[in-house]
Amino acid sequence: MTTKNLSRRLLLGMAGALLAAATFSASAQSAYPSRPVKLIVPFPAGTSPDVIARLWGDEFSKATGQAVVVENRPGASTIIAAQAAANAAPDGYTLLWTVNNTFSINPYVYKKLPYKVEDFVAVTRILSVPYVLVTSNDSKIRTLQDLLREAKAKPDAMTYASAGIGQGTHVAMARLLGQAGVSMTHVPYKDYFLPDVIAQRVDVAFDASTGAIPQVKAGKVRALGVSSAKRIDGLPDVPAIAEVLPGFVGDSWHGIFAPKGTPEPVLASLLAQSQKVVAMPAFRAKLEGYGLTPVGEPPEAFRHFLGEDARAWAKVVKDNNITAE
């Protein structure tokens, strides 16, 4: 055999090996998921993000035959969970299910974070979370106009609760007050604040639709407005705040993120399965029953949304000098 023929056979052999390796790699990735997927949720079991993440996980498991294991990592304004997900292997088997605080608020509230936005790949925004502005059903405040009139007449005399400094419920209220040109005193809570609103120890609060709607329907709180651009199906008689303060939007959201470096075929499979779940009539009906708005947008649209969302909340944080350690 000549040297020329030997070289040709070696080149063909190498090409075949490379092709086989590429085929094997593509096949391995296209089989995603081939084992259980861990979904890190930055909130305790039973909270809205946990409940919806588990609903998504059930449908994902039915479609793929692989379990979704929810790991609750609550605390520190989603920072603990985000750090854990950022440090996970980028293979699609550890994902982060989170809300707007992680990427749209925390980077502007905290001077130092153990994770960066660039540590993650945005997969899809599952849904939008309207906040409901509520007061006690026994309060003399009956409308948003009443609230703003009272707050204007008595600056800082009225109080509002939130889930903590820099939390979505705090920043959304700061946005509303800033746009309305009035001031109230902030009362941050470490635990659930709605009981104190019901008891009139605090005047008003924003609460996620999932928590607020049952209390409204039970007659314990009165809804003054919703933070979405339009009214929501869960509370059709409650005006959007934008009807009084044009252009106001203060919603949160739930989205899925993967560690940076996760293979594109895995991300594509994850997106496809997620969009199928969001398109299911039964899943959508459950979300809408909680007052949530299904989205299911692809990564490009989600990234654009995240940029706009972060710019908007960064301005609110800066204008109100909101900081936390």
Dist CA 161 CA 119 (whole Å): 32
Q: What's the DSSP call for residue 117?
A: G
Residue 88 shares a structural domain with residue 192: no
| Average confidence (pLDDT) over 175-195 | 96
pLDDT confidence of 31, banded at 50, 70, 90? Answer: confident
- The total number of structural domains in the chain stands at 2
Q: Are residues 299 and 219 in the same domain?
A: no
| pLDDT, tens only, 133-156 | 999 999 999 999 999 999 999 999
Let me know if residue 16 belongs to a domain: no
Q: Are residues 216 and 288 in the same domain?
A: no
Considering the domain architecture, whether residues 170 and 222 belong to the same structural domain is answered as yes
| Residue 18 within any structural domain of the chain | no
Please write the tens of the pLDDT for every residue from 62-105: 999 999 999 999 999 999 999 999 999 999 999 999 999 999 99
179 contacts 245 by C-beta, under 8 angstroms: yes
Q: Are residues 72 and 151 located together in one domain of the fold?
A: no
63 found inside a domain: yes
Structural domain that includes position 98 = 35-129+251-319
Q: Is residue 325 part of a domain?
A: no
Average pLDDT estimate for 204-219: 96
Q: Which pLDDT band holds residue 12 (cuts at 50, 70, 90)? A: very low
Last residue of a domain, one of 213, 243, 273: 243
Q: What is the pLDDT of residue 191?
A: 86
Note whether 198 and 265 are same-domain residues.
Answer: no
Q: What is the pLDDT of residue 30?
A: 54
* CATH code assigned at 47: 3.40.190.150
Same domain for 231 and 297, yes or no, is no
Instruction: Tell me which residue of 205, 208, 209, 186 sits closest to 195, measured CA to CA.
Output: 205
> Is residue 110 located within the same domain as residue 257?
yes
Q: Is the pLDDT of residue 27 over 60?
A: no
- Residue 193 φ then ψ, to 5°: -95, -15
Specify whether the CB–CB gap between 125 and 253 falls below 8 A: yes
Whether residue 43 contacts residue 283, with contact meaning beta carbons closer than 8 Å, is answered with: no
pTM: 0.86
Instruction: Please tell me whether residues 168 and 181 are part of one structural domain.
Output: yes
Report if residue 179 sits inside a domain.
Answer: yes
pLDDT of amino acid 28: 43
Is the predicted pLDDT of residue 19 greater than 80, yes or no? no
Residue 158 DSSP SS3: coil
**Does residue 178 form part of some domain?**
yes
Same domain, 221 and 256: no
Q: Could you tell me if 185 and 204 lie in one domain?
A: yes
CATH number for the domain spanning 200: value is 3.40.190.10
For the segment 107-126, what is each residue's pLDDT rounded down to a tens digit?
A: 999 999 999 999 999 999 99
Residues 182, 90 share a domain? no
Question: Is residue 239 included in any domain, yes or no?
Answer: yes
DSSP 77: G
Boundary residue ending a domain (218, 243, 268):
243
Which of 226, 243, 260 represents a domain boundary (last residue)? Answer: 243
Across residues 273-286, what is the average pLDDT?
Answer: 96
Band the pLDDT of 1: cuts 50, 70, 90: low
- The predicted pLDDT at position 146 comes to 98
Q: Which of 45, 9, 50 is nearest to 254 (CA)?
A: 50
